[in-house]
Amino acid sequence: MPSDTLQVQPGIFARSGEFWTLSYGGVTFSLKAIKGLAYLQFLLQHPGEEFHATDLVRDRASKHRLNIQSQTLRHLRAA
């Protein structure tokens, strides 16, 4: 195989509750959810794109606030 040809292998990088499941090359394991893994997931979802670290943190924080707001609205509507 020529060195400039990449072989794509499927992998898993998914959060389920308080744990992340990572799988690649036949190896699967779980890690407790931490902020850095969410950043890695975002970067993996946007290959080839460049992000400044502060933009990445701001974007994740904004999504977190929106998630909390939507959960609060759902709770209030259910009450």
What whole-number distance in Å separates Cα of residue 54 and Cα of residue 71? 26
pLDDT of residue 62: 54
Query: Taking the domains of the chain in order of start, what are their residue ranges?
Result: 1-33, 35-79
**pLDDT in the model for residue 60:** 59
Query: pLDDT at position 61, please?
Result: 52
Of 71, 43, 72, residue with least CA distance to 59: 43
Question: Mean pLDDT for each consecutive 10-residue tract of the chain (79 residues)?
Answer: 70 91 93 88 85 77 48 56
In whole angstroms, what is the distance from residue 57 CA to residue 32 CA? 19
